[in-house]
Amino acid sequence: MINASTISINTDILRPTQVEIDLDRLAANYRAIQAHAAPAAVMPILKANAYGHGLVEVARHMQSLGAPYLGVAFLEEGILLREAGVTTPILVLGGIIGNQIPRFLAHDLTLTASSVEKLGQIEEAARQMGVRARVHLKIDTGMERIGVHYYSASSLLEASLTGDHFEVEGIFSHFANADAADQSYSRLQLERFNHVLGFYSSRGISHPPLRHMANSAAIAGFRSSHMDMVRAGILLYGVYPSDDTPRTVEVRPSLSWKSRVVYFKVIQPDHPVSYGSTWRSDHPVRAVTVPVGYGDGYFRSMSGRAEVIIRGKRYPVIGRVCMDQVVVNIEWDSAYNGDEVILIGEAENGAAITVEELADWAGTIPWEILTNVNTRVPRVYKVTADR
């Protein structure tokens, strides 16, 4: 973990293009979600390198905050966290292949069981290893990815009562459209899930497994879906899922993406810029080169649309985004080698560029912007000096 007071030192020795993660903001976001969702517990979702924020560092930070559970997508992510010393329970949300199960058990990872067959494989592997597996049952209420269909879930739930070598710790589903203005499908999915959960009362089971369904959009706008636990994904990182999601939780972006000017030039009239010669000026302009490109996750589709902030002012990226560099038109303003260039984040004067803006320029969604910041971009972690 890098103290905020050492950031300037590290920017001298690392690549000029960096992602800065504000761990204090991340903690504040977690606590805000916790307060909003109470009494439901909060599971931070850390898949895809913690939405570009850095899997191991974010997991350690969430563990230090007392998160009761962490969620990842794949076995490899869970193993990486265990090897990094993370001891918090970890649910692997994705589908499993039978020969992976011993590795889940060896690293004390919680499995998602989506069929009677998978549950049987978990039982057998746990029996052979002499351990007791932890399992969450996945119910498909309308996503059609993984999970037993809600209308045929009873066989899986019946089988889940018979295992000697696994404990069904949780049962969950996932919303398809919780970030939409029209919540009718989400209400239908919740109704389907609640109908499945009626299995437990019908069997006289007073303490059913941990129930969870709410994602970031449902945390903010669908309180009746919170149940025992909510899964905080993009909202944890300070980004709302959509314009239609009610702003009910006060969160702030925890990620900034910055680079520096590495070259200054004057471009003469009718001298095209970058591949394809798609941009040219009819008058002399000053321009700077910035060492970031689509090889870092700065999408080529943002060519001719993106803007950056230099010295508190927004300027356009001109020509096509290259793999490793972009060119910025500063007209006749001044900029110098080493000047900070803000790709995502806020300048001291309040000028800001958001993840949502990059998503709009790229024709995609904020999730894809965050998760596509390449791992060749160093992550620097900021925390209050006296923390």
138 is catalytic: no
pLDDT < 70 stretches in the chain: 1-13, 385-387
Compute the distance between CA of residue 265 and CA of residue 263 in angstroms, rounded to an integer: 7
pLDDT at 384: 78
One of 3.10.580.10, 3.30.465.10, 2.40.37.10, 3.40.50.300 is the CATH number of 255-382, namely 2.40.37.10
pTM for the whole structure: 0.93
Compute the distance between CA of residue 262 and CA of residue 204 in angstroms, rounded to an integer: 69
Q: What is the pLDDT of residues 16-43, one digit of tens each?
A: 999 999 999 999 999 999 999 999 999 9
Catalytic residue among 47, 118, 258, 382: 47
pLDDT at 7: 36
- Domain 39-237 and domain 255-382 have a common topology: no
Task: Return the structure tokens found at 229.
Answer: 């636990």
Task: Return the structure tokens found at 44.
Answer: 């931070």
Residues in the chain: 387
pLDDT at 231: 98
pLDDT at 296: 97
Catalytic residue among 151, 263, 265, 275: 275
pLDDT at 9: 35
pLDDT at 3: 40
118 is catalytic: no
pLDDT at 206: 87
For residue 306, the SS3 value is: coil
Compute the distance between CA of residue 63 and CA of residue 79 in angstroms, rounded to an integer: 16
Class of the 39-237 domain? alpha beta
Compute the distance between CA of residue 358 and CA of residue 360 in angstroms, rounded to an integer: 5
pLDDT at 297: 98
- Where do the domains of the chain lie? 39-237, 255-382
